[in-house]
Amino acid sequence: MRDGYVVAVVGATGAVGRQAVAILEARGFPVRELRLAASGRSAGKRVDGHPVVALSEDVFDGCDIAIFDVPDGVSAEWAPRAAARGAVVIDNSATFLLEPDVPLVIPEINGQRVKDRPRGIVANPNCTTATFLLPLAPLHRAYGLRRVVACSYQSVSGAGQAGTEQLWRELRAAVERGEPLREPLGQAFPHPIALNVLPAVGSVRDGGHTSEEVKAQQESRKILEHPGVEVGITCVRVPTLVGHGVAVHATFDRSPDLEEVREILRTAPGVEVVDEPRSARYPTPLLAAGRDPAYVGRIRLDGAGNLAFFVVADNLRKGAALNAVQIAETLVALEPELRAHARV
């Protein structure tokens, strides 16, 4: 049997879990045994030909890496149990994002942090945060980031399958009626999302911020290791299927040169520059859907002295499943001793 790792994907029947299974295979991750787990009601299903079992501690016996894409409460219960059995957990929930003893990792930015995991858990960042930090991090290294003001344009798939289904249902109804809907046709969003935008993503917190906005603020400081950076963001749900966009206006300690900015972004890992607006070449959700990079364009100096750009990434890939697999790749590259669990 060839060398490789025992990898579990927990929440394998969800949109991100299915993506993780496909990406592991597409990128040739050295999997010796793939174990797929989900809730009891999903047991017996198959994902890409692999059987799905009910989540239990047996799933993690002899497991090297466990990728979790489950609700926060499930992660809170099961991620520590998986780690206690020796698996390195890569968690995509919000449970451990801001825990000081859990690294929050975007491999292109701070991949070395995977080695600092006293609880055996590595957190995957929020999809919006991952999207705008990919271009911001190299610019921060070059110019010293002071402040970010941003607005996100987040697709319905960020709310799971229920969000996607609600959009399609409402689009069909709106076409049939010949007018926008007045009431939502689903539980994912409190208002119609078809032909509409909703300026609140997540639950509302003190001060009027939403949970999505608070995560973007706090995660940025943690990943960039820059606790003093000011981050202001409004998160907006829009009627697109896949791909989160973020309009960014950033202030730096040193005034950026636009040509130098473009060159920095052209060479930044995980970033692709699409910046020819006169030819209608700029990032869109459809461009990013199903692809790995964060696409950056509309690069300019705004009228308030900030560097401005628009960035889009596939929220199910770089915002979730792809980043999780890249964390696993970084882990095995930096820690060959994980092969003590592998069998030849």
The CATH class given to the 5-125+320-340 domain equals alpha beta
Q: What is the pLDDT of residue 3?
A: 79
- Are 223 and 277 in contact by the 8 Å Cβ rule? The answer is no
Q: What is the pLDDT of residue 150?
A: 98
Q: What is the pLDDT of residue 1?
A: 32
What topology is assigned to 128-155+197-313 in CATH?
Dihydrodipicolinate Reductase; domain 2 (3.30.360)
Active site residue 140: no
Active site residue 151: no
Point out the catalytic residue in the list 63, 127, 140, 249.
127
What distance in Å separates the CA atoms of residue 27 and residue 25, rounded to the nearest whole number? 6
* Token representation of residue 139: 């610019």
CA atoms within 13 A on the CB side of 2: 6
User: What are the residue ranges spanned by the domains of the chain?
Assistant: 5-125+320-340, 128-155+197-313
Point out the catalytic residue in the list 140, 209, 244, 249.
244
Q: Which residues of the chain fall short of a pLDDT of 70?
A: 1-2, 339-344
Look-up of token digits 């960042």: 125
Cross-sheet strand order for the sheet of 145-154? 230-237, 145-154, 244-252, 307-313, 294-301, 271-273
Coil, helix or strand at residue 302? coil
- Are 328 and 68 in contact by the 8 Å Cβ rule? The answer is no
Q: What is the pLDDT of residue 338?
A: 81
**Identical fold between 5-125+320-340 and 128-155+197-313:** no
Cross-sheet strand order for the sheet of 88-91? 46-47, 50-54, 31-38, 5-10, 65-68, 88-91, 121-123
Q: What is the pLDDT of residue 27?
A: 96
